[in-house]
A = this chain, B = another copy of it.
Amino acid sequence: MSNVRTIEVNQSIFAANDHLADDIRGRLRENHTFLMNVMASPGAGKSSVLLRTIDMLKDRLKIGVMEADIDATVDAEKMLAAGVRSIQIHTGGECAMNASMTKQALDEFRTDDLDLLFLENIGNLVCPAEEDVGSSMNMEILSIPEGDDKPLKYPLMFQVTQVVLINKIDTRDYFNFDDKAVVERIHRLNPDSKIFFVSAKTGEGFEAWTKWLLEQVETWNEN
């Protein structure tokens, strides 16, 4: 590192929305609804992972999806086409959901009867990591084509997520991606992080992931 000149630009941008986030969590807990905040880069496969996950768990759980986007309704259209209860949220240019926007969405989209509610956050590894949306759990989907160095570049994302899905493992032959290195880098940032290697395309790894997720939802909803 010694020969790299580095400039630190210090600016605080962390929003003080933690109180509202706790209110949301309390309300969801009362209703026995588990809110999973899904974060990833653009194109990492958030919608595809959710569609397959929902398909595998739909006989066990009542599931809904809130799609957050700057613009467009393509993901919500996909969810509706698959028969998934969903709503589109437009963030008005904001690069991440926050607790206030989540509350607006929950008020609009009645979710009291749901066991599991996914929030598909804006595709971005920076801003979403900084905002507590009141979720029961945070997850990150990292795809093989993005590379194994992402935990080095976006450490906060991997610190605030309890589970990481490494997606698109069916494309492994086409990219240099070091499984061992990525697991080490993630665990250095969060030793308790659960990691699954999956392919939303082929379904590989989804048995283990959905079994684990079902346990989390059941445990959370029992308390």
Contact = CB atoms under 8 A, between A and B. Distances in A.
Given A70-B154, A153-B72, A8 B94 contact: no
Interface in A68-126: 69-74, 76-77, 80, 86-95, 101, 104-105, 108-109, 122-126
Contact of A156 (B70, B77, B168): B70
Contacts of A4: 73, 76-77, 80, 86-88
A43 B145 contact: yes
Contacts of A5: 87-88, 108-109
Contacts of A71: 152-155
A18 B72 CA distance: 28
Interface string A17-30: 00000000000000
A105 to B, nearest CB: 6
Q: How many copies does the complex hold?
A: 2
A201 to B, nearest CB: 9
B1 A73 contact: yes
Nearest to A79: B4
Given A14-B93, A152-B72, A153-B123, A7 B168 contact: no
B7 A146 contact: no
Contacts of A41: 41-43, 123, 146
A64 to B, nearest CB: 12
A69 to B, nearest CB: 6
Given A73-B1, A124-B126, A125-B124, A42 B11 contact: no
Interface in A126-144: 126-127, 130, 143
Interface of A: 1, 3-14, 41-43, 69-74, 76-77, 80, 86-95, 101, 104-105, 108-109, 122-127, 130, 143, 145-147, 149-150, 152-156, 168, 170-171, 174-175
Shortest 9 CB-CB contacts between residues of A and residues of B: A43-B146, A145-B145, A95-B126, A10-B92, A6-B88, A72-B152, A4-B73, A41-B42, A4-B76
